[in-house]
Chain A
Amino acid sequence: MTAGPGAPAAARDSAPSLPDDVVRAPAPTSPTRPSARRRRRPEQVPLDGVTRVGRAFAIGAAVLTLVPIPLVLLVALSASWREGPFAGLTTQWLVEAWTRVQGNLGVSVRVAVLVLVLDLLIGFPAAWLIARHRFPGRRLLQAVSTVPIAVPGIAIGLGLILAYPTLRPSGVLMVAGHVLYTLPFLLGALTPALGDPAVRVQESVAATLGAGPVRRLLTVTLPGVRGALLAATLMVLTLSFGEFNVAFFLFTPTQQPLPVVLYDGYLTGRLEAAAAATVLFLACVVPAALALERLGGAKVGQA
């Protein structure tokens, strides 16, 4: 052996790049290695003409996308917007909106959870199949399962109502439409994760260690894809929660999801009331969107 056999392995391993003659500190006992946890502060790189223009555009676009959110809050809190922004603040609109839409919010939450469960039951095995097996028709299955992204939501809704008119009162059609519309996003997140060679090698190692299929799924595969699973879950929940186009033809009068009530408010209600209901909606969706951004998953729904 070239290195001192008596030295603890960790002391040698933790500083592999140090030359041999450097006196080494004993192995760190704290669970955090300072070198690994130290955040490198990214430095500002020089910008050229194009990226400088890009920065200006990015700032402009960010203003365009962000400014309405505080404005919605401002209007929702103003006592009477018509009299101008300085007429005083009130929470009355928010309280009213809450009593008005909480039933619809409940409908939306229930639909979203049901859609998520169905998505997982249908999508997880399908993503597994597409990611891990080569079979004739695989590309076709993949292509067809992305069609709901291309077909406008209103057309999906119309197709469902024309094909199964008698099912409309049950509310089944809206759930089915949401499942169809959200499934491509779930597949898009899960398929690459399940196909990741790193996860598959871990499964093989687990098998050599004696773990059967169920144990492998629960203790290796699911933890291995949990990031993608969480991203897919958030995506499906927020997409279903805000979905309006598919639901437009399919909702039942007794089971109106939140976006339908929002839409009514936008067409007929007072601006303050509509803003207040929108605030409640945003309070559900924006945190999920930010969490999703942290997970690195992005989604592209319909407008």
Chain B
Amino acid sequence: MTLLDEAQRRTAPSAEPPVTGPDAAHLVCSGLRFRYPGAADDALRGIDVDAAPGTITALVGPSGCGKTTLLKLVGGLLRPTAGQIAVDGADTTDLPLTRRKVGWVPQQYALFEHLDVTGNVAFGLRAQKVPAAERAERVGRMLELCRISELARRPVADLSGGQRQRVAIARALAPFPRILLLDEPLAALDPQLRVQLRSELAALIREAGVTTLLVTHDQEEALAVADQLVLLRDGGVVQAGPSARLWEQPADAWAAGFLGHAVTVPGVVVPDGGARLAPGLVVGLRTPADDGARATAGDEVLVALRSGDLHADAAGDAPSGEVVAAAREGAAGRVETVEFAGERYRLQVRLEAGPAVPAHALAPLTVGQRVTVAAVAGRSVAVVGR
């Protein structure tokens, strides 16, 4: 199952009425700038984010790109040097933290260790003076939503990582926040648990129906959980949009490299719409981004190759994979690296024509071995520049 499949398989926001409050908010950030006191440069250089009501937006990028800073600006933990944060059209930029109605789930969850699960979840309701009867009822609903009802009276010190995450989310959701902010919600968990819990996390947020911003450095997690990605680098937005579009049409070589570890190689557009990377090696091209930059035959372009796009066989063998019929001859090259990846082998192959390309193979190959590389049928690659 590829990431793209997972992203497309996801269902639309639940049709059932959301658990947290009457309606989800529309978050619009415009021109957000931020500079840490004493720093020479802006940590954020004019960020725009538009998160539709009830959607999950992932802020994704390498460490130091400003994604956590952006989350803190939206949450009111930092004040922007310039720009505006509007929730349902109302400017919240200068609202104090206590009146912003954001639900914040920090990286290590920051549970109140001296309280039990109920005490944690009820904290915001107490602070906002919700009457006891209503409070108990709402806490009960939150625990149910997060599937931790049986933990209600447990001290939080006893909980596992996954349970702590749920308590933190229940605590954030209980006062009906307009926006839910999650800072690396899965980073504190074991790798195995992380994969399992990320789809459950997405399901839970969708059930709650709250507009959510989520920070992650893990592109796979972002694709799996979010409706929309905001790809950040060095304090600026590289690309923003629906997850599937960022995957299929990365804005540039860096974006392609970050999402799915694509390798960028030069090619020439051929008359039937593909791109030739080397003599005998033609790959299919995706519909280019809707900016009118359709490539025409003869154009020199850069294409983004991911490891599943090309297939390699030992030289002289008949093609074993599902390669493109039209390109059966393939391009010759030598194996530079081999990595066992379970059901297949991941290779880097140096083509005789020059570029090194990622490819996969079904049979074990050895470094230095001569191989023939061909495009996999049904796969097409994106143009990321020319």
Direct A–B contact in complex, judged by CB atoms less than 8 Å apart:
yes
* Cα–Cα distance between A16 and B196 once the two chains are bound (Å): 10
Q: Decide if A32 is an interface residue (CB 8 Å cutoff).
A: yes
Q: Are A211 and B148 in contact (CB under 8 A)?
A: no
Q: Are A14 and B75 in contact (CB under 8 A)?
A: no
Q: Which of B114, B177, B199 contacts A1 (CB 8 A)?
A: B199
Smallest CB gap from B189: residue in A: A16
Mask for A195-217, Cβ within 8 A of B = 1, else 0? 00010011011111111100100
Q: Are B112 and A220 in contact (CB under 8 A)?
A: yes
Q: Are B150 and A13 in contact (CB under 8 A)?
A: no
Instruction: Enumerate chain A residues within 8 angstroms of B124, measured Cβ to Cβ.
Output: 209-211
Instruction: Enumerate chain B residues within 8 angstroms of A201, measured Cβ to Cβ.
Output: 106, 108, 110
* Cα–Cα distance between A234 and B47 once the two chains are bound (Å): 51
Q: Decide if A99 is an interface residue (CB 8 Å cutoff).
A: no
Mask for B66-81, Cβ within 8 A of A = 1, else 0? 0000000001110000
Smallest CB gap from A7: residue in B: B147
Q: Decide if A65 is an interface residue (CB 8 Å cutoff).
A: no
Interface size on B, residues (CB 8 A): 48
Q: Are A209 and B75 in contact (CB under 8 A)?
A: no
Q: Are B158 and A33 in contact (CB under 8 A)?
A: yes
Q: Are B150 and A8 in contact (CB under 8 A)?
A: yes
Within 8 A of A (CB), among B127-166: 127-128, 146-148, 150-151, 153-155, 158, 160-163, 166
Q: Decide if B54 is an interface residue (CB 8 Å cutoff).
A: no
Q: Are B110 and A202 in contact (CB under 8 A)?
A: yes
* Max count, chain A CB within 10 A of own CB: residue among B127, B177, B190: B127
- A204-B77, A205-B110, A215-B127 given as contacts; is B99 within 8 A of A12 (CB)? no
Smallest CB gap from A28: residue in B: B150
- A10-B163, A16-B190 given as contacts; is B106 within 8 A of A210 (CB)? no
Smallest CB gap from B111: residue in A: A202
Smallest CB gap from A201: residue in B: B110
Q: Decide if B200 is an interface residue (CB 8 Å cutoff).
A: yes
Instruction: Enumerate chain B residues within 8 angstroms of A10, measured Cβ to Cβ.
Output: 147-148, 150-151, 163
Q: Decide if B100 is an interface residue (CB 8 Å cutoff).
A: yes
Q: Are A208 and B196 in contact (CB under 8 A)?
A: no
Within 8 A of A (CB), among B168-223: 171-172, 175, 177, 189-190, 192-193, 195-196, 199-200, 203
Q: Are A16 and B158 in contact (CB under 8 A)?
A: no
Q: Are B123 and A209 in contact (CB under 8 A)?
A: yes
Closest CB-CB distance, B197 to chain A, in whole Å?
A: 8
Q: Are B106 and A204 in contact (CB under 8 A)?
A: yes
Instruction: Enumerate chain B residues within 8 angstroms of A204, measured Cβ to Cβ.
Output: 77, 97, 104, 106, 110
Smallest CB gap from A2: residue in B: B196
Q: Decide if A23 is an interface residue (CB 8 Å cutoff).
A: no
Q: Are B97 and A212 in contact (CB under 8 A)?
A: no
* Cα–Cα distance between A205 and B147 once the two chains are bound (Å): 22
Q: Decide if B98 is an interface residue (CB 8 Å cutoff).
A: yes
Given A13-B162, A33-B158, 18 new contacts (CB under 8 A): A1-B203, A3-B196, A13-B163, A27-B150, A32-B158, A36-B158, A204-B110, A206-B123, A207-B97, A208-B75, A208-B97, A208-B102, A208-B103, A209-B123, A210-B127, A212-B127, A223-B112, A223-B114
A-side residues, CB < 8 A to B, are 1-3, 8-10, 12-14, 16-17, 27, 29, 31-33, 36, 198, 201-202, 204-212, 215, 219-220, 223-224, 226
> Could you name 15 residue pairs across A and B whose Cβ atoms are closer than 8 Å?
A1-B203, A10-B147, A13-B160, A13-B163, A16-B189, A202-B111, A204-B110, A208-B76, A208-B172, A209-B175, A211-B98, A212-B98, A215-B127, A224-B114, A226-B114
